[in-house]
Chains A and B, each alone.
Chain A
Amino acid sequence: MSIDATTRLATEIAPPATAHRRFDVRRIVLDPRRRRGAVSWLVVLLIWQLGASSGGWLAEPLPWIGRLPAPRDVLAAALELGVDPGYWHSWLASGGRVLLGFAAAVLCGVPFSLLLAGSARVRGVAYPVFELLRPVPPLAWVPAAIIFWPTQELSIAFVIFLGAFYPIVLNVLGGARSVDARFLETARSLGASRWSVFRRLLLPAVLPAMAVGMEVGIGITWEVVVAAEMISGGGAGGASASGGGLGFLIWSSYVGGSYPQIIVGMISIGVAGYASSALLRWVGARLTPWRREPAA
Chain B
Amino acid sequence: MGWRAAHPLAAGAGGVTPAIALRDVDKTYGVGRRRRAVLRGCSLEIAQGEFCAVLGPSGAGKSTLVRLIAGFERPDAGAITALGAPVKGPGKDRLVMFQETALFPWMTTRENVLYGPRVSAERGPAWRSRAEELLRRVGIAAFAQKYPAQLSGGMQRRAEIARALLNDPAVMILDEPFRGLDAMTRALMLEYYAELHAASPRTQIFVTTDVDEALFLADRLLVMSHAPAAVAAAIEIDLPRPRSLAGLVADDRANAIKRRVLDLLETEGRRAFGGRARAALVSRP
Binding site for B on A (CB under 8 A): 1-2, 5-6, 8-10, 12-15, 180, 182-183, 185-193, 196, 200-201, 204-205, 207, 288-291, 294-295
- Tell me the minimal C-beta distance from B103 to chain A in angstroms: 9
Distance of A89 Cα from B91 Cα, bound (Å): 61
Residues of chain B within 8 A of A200, CB atoms compared: 104, 115, 118-119
Q: Max chain B CB contacts within 10 Å: which of A12, A186, A288, A290?
A: A186
- Closest CB-CB distance, A283 to chain B, in whole Å? 16
Output the residue of A190, A200, A295 with the most chain B CB within 10 A.
A190
Count of A-B contacts judged by CB separation below 8 Å: 98
Give the chain A neighbours of B94 by CB distance below 8 A. Answer: 189
**Cβ 8 A contact of A1, one of B89, B120, B148, B244:** B244
Tell me the bound Cα distance from A180 to B102 in angstroms: 8
Q: Which residues of A contact B154 (CB under 8 A)?
A: 9, 12
CB distance from B153 to the nearest CB of A (A): 9
Q: Give the shortest distance, in Å, between B35 (CB) and chain A (any CB).
A: 21
CB-defined contacts of B106 to chain A, threshold 8 Å = 204-205, 207, 288, 290
Report whether A191 and B188 are in contact in the complex, using a CB–CB cutoff of 8 Å.
Answer: no
| Pairs A–B under 8 Å by Cβ, sample size 25 | A1-B191, A1-B242, A2-B195, A5-B188, A5-B191, A5-B195, A6-B139, A8-B188, A9-B158, A9-B188, A12-B152, A12-B154, A14-B143, A182-B102, A186-B98, A190-B116, A191-B92, A191-B120, A192-B119, A201-B104, A204-B104, A290-B106, A290-B147, A294-B149, A294-B150
Shortest beta-carbon distance from B83 to chain A in Å:
16
**Chain B 75-107 interface mask (CB, 8 Å, partner A; 1/0):** 000000000000001111011101000101111
| Residues of chain B with a CB closer than 8 A to A190's CB | 92, 95, 115-116, 119-120, 167
- Known contacts: A1-B244, A15-B150. The answer to whether A186 contacts B92 by CB under 8 A is no
What CA separation (Å) do A190 and B97 show in the bound complex?
12
**Closest CB-CB distance, B147 to chain A, in whole Å?**
4
**With A5-B192, A190-B116 in contact, do A13 and B152 touch (Cβ < 8 Å)?**
yes
Q: In the complex, which residue of chain B has the Cβ closest to the Cβ of A184?
A: B72
Query: Are B104 and A183 in contact (CB-based, < 8 A)?
Result: yes
Q: How far is the CA of A1 from the CA of B92 in the complex (A)?
A: 32
Q: Which of B144-196 contact A (CB under 8 A)?
A: 147-152, 154-155, 158, 167, 185, 188-189, 191-192, 195
Q: Which of B91, B143, B151, B192 contacts A6 (CB 8 A)?
A: B192
In the bound complex, CA of A204 to CA of B143 (Å):
21
Shortest Cβ distance from A4 into B: residue: B191
List of B residues within 8 angstroms of A295 by Cβ: 150
In-complex Cβ contact of B139 among A9, A188, A201 (8 A): A9
CA distance A294 to B70 in the complex (A): 33
B202 to chain A, nearest CB (A): 15
Is there an interface contact between B155 and A12, defined as CB atoms closer than 8 Å? Answer: yes
Query: With contacts A5-B191, A190-B119 known, is A290 near B92, CB below 8 A?
Result: no
> Given the complex of chains A and B, what is the CA–CA distance between A183 and B100 in angstroms?
12
Q: How distant is the Cα of A196 from the Cα of B121 in the complex, in angstroms?
A: 10
> A204 contacts which chain B residues (CB < 8 A)?
104, 106-107
Contact present for B70 and A189 (CB under 8 Å): yes
For B143, the chain A residues whose CB sits under 8 A away are 14
Instruction: Please give me the residue from chain B that is nearest to A200 by CB atom.
Output: B119
B72 touches A187 (CB 8 A): no
Contact of A182 among B98, B107, B120, B139 (CB under 8 A): B98
Give 16 A-B pairs besides A190-B116, A291-B105 with Cβ atoms closer than 8 angstroms: A6-B192, A9-B158, A10-B139, A12-B188, A15-B150, A15-B152, A185-B72, A186-B102, A188-B72, A189-B90, A189-B91, A290-B105, A290-B106, A290-B148, A291-B149, A294-B150
